[in-house]
Chains A and B, each alone.
Chain A
Amino acid sequence: MHELSLVQGLLGQLESLAGQHGASRILKVRVSIGEESCIVEDSFRFGFDAIKTESSLTERAELQIQKVPGSDLMLMQVEME
């Protein structure tokens, strides 16, 4: 459940990044999820795929998730055009 609110935070970040870089489409989003973060990878992906279609900026974005040690959730890299 809380994955959805984290995904909303991510989409907000993507919007402002796209604004900063004058991009109109997000192609790829790389995120790292800490093993101890209590964030479920599948739920996060499910949430992302559900919400990304609400905006033409993100509707085709591909999410790549990397599991890492620790408890953080990080936005690592974004490919945009």
Chain B
Amino acid sequence: MCKSCGCHISPDTDKSTTRASKHDNSKIVDVHKSLLEANRRQAEKNRHHIEAMGAVAINMISSPGSGKTTLLEATIDRLGDRLRIGVIEGDIETERDAERIRKKGVPVVQLTTGGACHLDAPLVHKGLHELEALAHEKSGPFFDLIFIENVGNLVCPATFDLGEHRRIVLLSVPEGSDKPAKYPAVFSTADLFLITKTDLIKYFDFSVKEAVSEAKRIKPSLESMEISSKTGDGLDEWCEYLESLCN
């Protein structure tokens, strides 16, 4: 795919076996090959690529509107002068989220999937190169932290490794505390569970206890945090978590 970083997708080795079928001129080929394998291989390369940029990458997954972009804005306000942050925004259409992040003065790349409901590793690979090129003009192609905001969707992104180091799932209070039980796949693959918009908890019958215990039932080691980007509650803990990843 690209020469500059050596992240070239290696050609497939054909392990298929063939035999004649009962029909005269047809044959049966045993393939046994993963159709997700190409994505996984590219994700592995992305991970190396990100490490070569000096960074740790975070894949942020949630439904549309759970507060991913708002949290990124608040995070840049708090950590932007201490950490070199880059952002890859994934959306089906528009540059809007990238524009919001650009106003904060950090390098940002917008990826539009043109309909697809998730980012995949080849697309993120392209984003990494664009991010590198952007940063190069400024301070050199190095980062501490790269955020990848996935397309708003609590289902499909779970299937696609992007090459991230940490996968974070966000659930906002208005969505309801039953969502971990309803969308187990994304919770089972996450490294951290963020309950967002906790300033709204007085208006909704959201049970933090239910959300956390359901998430733990799906993945016992899953840690959680409660945050509000609006009031700043919980952002200290969140920022400490991020800084600890960069050390």
| CB of B104 within 8 Å of the partner chain | no
| CB of A50 within 8 Å of the partner chain | no
In contact, B156 and A1 (Cβ under 8 angstroms): yes
Residues of A within 8 A of B21 (CB): 79
In contact, B36 and A73 (Cβ under 8 angstroms): yes
Q: Which residues of B contact A (CB under 8 A)?
A: 14, 16, 18, 21, 23, 25-36, 38, 115-118, 120, 155-156, 158-160, 185, 188
Residues of B within 8 A of A2 (CB): 116-118, 156, 159-160
Q: Which residues of A contact B (CB under 8 A)?
A: 1-2, 5-6, 9-10, 13, 17, 20-21, 23, 27, 31, 36-39, 71-81
Q: A20: nearest residue on chain B (CB-CB)?
A: B14
With a 10 A CB-CB cut-off, give which of B21, B35, B36 has the most chain A CB atoms.
B35
What separation, in Å, do the CA atoms of A79 and B33 have in the docked complex? 15
Which of B29, B155, B156 is in CB contact (< 8 Å) with A21?
B29
**Listed A/B pairs (14) with beta-carbon separation below 8 Å:** A1-B115, A2-B156, A6-B36, A9-B35, A17-B29, A20-B14, A36-B188, A38-B155, A38-B156, A73-B36, A74-B32, A75-B35, A76-B31, A79-B27
In contact, B185 and A38 (Cβ under 8 angstroms): yes
Residues of A within 8 A of B36 (CB): 6, 37, 72-73
Q: State how many angstroms separate the Cβ of A76 from the closest Cβ of chain B.
A: 6
10 further interface pairs, Cβ-Cβ under 8 Å (given A21-B27, A75-B34): A1-B156, A2-B118, A2-B159, A6-B36, A72-B34, A77-B31, A78-B28, A79-B29, A80-B29, A81-B23
In contact, A73 and B35 (Cβ under 8 angstroms): yes
In contact, A81 and B35 (Cβ under 8 angstroms): no
In contact, B31 and A36 (Cβ under 8 angstroms): no
In contact, A77 and B118 (Cβ under 8 angstroms): no
Residues of B within 8 A of A76 (CB): 30-32
What separation, in Å, do the CA atoms of A34 and B117 have in the docked complex? 19
Q: B155: nearest residue on chain A (CB-CB)?
A: A38
What separation, in Å, do the CA atoms of A80 and B28 have in the docked complex? 6
Q: A22: nearest residue on chain B (CB-CB)?
A: B27
Which of A5, A39, A71, A80 is in CB contact (< 8 Å) with B26?
A80
Which of A1, A6, A38, A78 is in CB contact (< 8 Å) with B29?
A78
With a 10 A CB-CB cut-off, give which of A2, A17, A74, A80 has the most chain B CB atoms.
A2
Q: State how many angstroms separate the Cβ of A81 from the closest Cβ of chain B.
A: 4
Given contacts A1-B116, A2-B159, contact A79 B32 (CB under 8 A): no
What separation, in Å, do the CA atoms of A27 and B23 have in the docked complex? 11
Q: State how many angstroms separate the Cβ of B5 from the closest Cβ of chain A.
A: 23
Residues of A within 8 A of B159 (CB): 2, 37-39, 71
Residues of B within 8 A of A78 (CB): 28-29, 31
Residues of B within 8 A of A6 (CB): 35-36
In contact, B31 and A79 (Cβ under 8 angstroms): no
Closest 10 CB pairs of A and B: A81-B26, A1-B117, A73-B35, A2-B156, A38-B159, A75-B31, A78-B29, A79-B28, A38-B185, A81-B25
